[in-house]
Amino acid sequence: MVTLESCEGGPVPNRLTDASSPYLRQHAGNPVDWYEWSQEAFERARGEDKPVFLSVGYSSCHWCHVMAHESFEDTEVAGVLNDRFVAVKVDREERPDIDSVYMTAVQAMTGQGGWPMSVFLTPDGTPFFGGTYWPRDSRQGMPGFLQVLTAVDTAWRDQRDQVLATGGRLARHLQAANDLDGGAATVDAEVADTAAQLCVRAWDRDFGGFGQAPKFPQAMTIDFLLAHHVRT
């Protein structure tokens, strides 16, 4: 099994050491051979005929840190990931577009979503299996991450047709959910006014942001409000 270690046995920083995201840089010392989301990662997956393991999280996510400590810092887990998969790490706050697409897939597969989001993809980026947090070892009815990796690797090698069929069904679901082929819709002015009013009501005047739950930057909401202000 391949892990990222120096000749002295210590960890060697992986590709994430130069990432712009502080969350990704937190994983720079993992023995996992992480890639950022990039063409290079998927080209390697195609060239080596391996599935992609996509892990999406963010800095303040408790279970992201738990899974990182239990699994991504573990040399046995890293060895399996590095041998059998191409591992990609994404910060959902930096790439909400990627997070949104694959969260829809995970929700379709499992009926729920959350972070860390863990998704297995074909080399063309099509999801075929996924979930959220998995403990390193099986417990309380939850499969262990090592068990999941072994099962996915076996399915990829021995049941490729089923894997691709599952991916095809999910791709069609994602296309329908996101209306990828649809044209631009015209929004009625009254609907836009109502949406703007709801945003204003949700504004947290004490701490900023929208709503009372833990907040993330909502660029699309702010862009909408600015555009609505200009129009009105």
Quick: pLDDT tens for 112-123.
889 999 999 999
Q: State which residues form the domain around 158.
A: 15-178
Same domain, 71 and 126: yes
Last residue of a domain, one of 156, 178, 200: 178
pLDDT above 60: residue 62: yes
Count of CB atoms within 10 A of residue 195's CB?
Answer: 15
Angle separating helix axes 219-231 and 189-202, nearest 10 degrees: 130
Same domain, 125 and 209: no
Same domain, 58 and 34: yes
Same domain, 145 and 219: no
Same domain, 35 and 146: yes
pTM (two decimals): 0.74
Number of domains in the chain: 2
Same domain, 78 and 147: yes
Whether 202 maps to a domain, the answer reads yes
pLDDT of residue 16: 97
Find the CATH number of the domain harbouring 97.
3.40.30.10
pLDDT above 50: residue 79: yes
Listed in sequence order, the DSSP H helices in 34-91 are 39-48, 62-67, 75-84
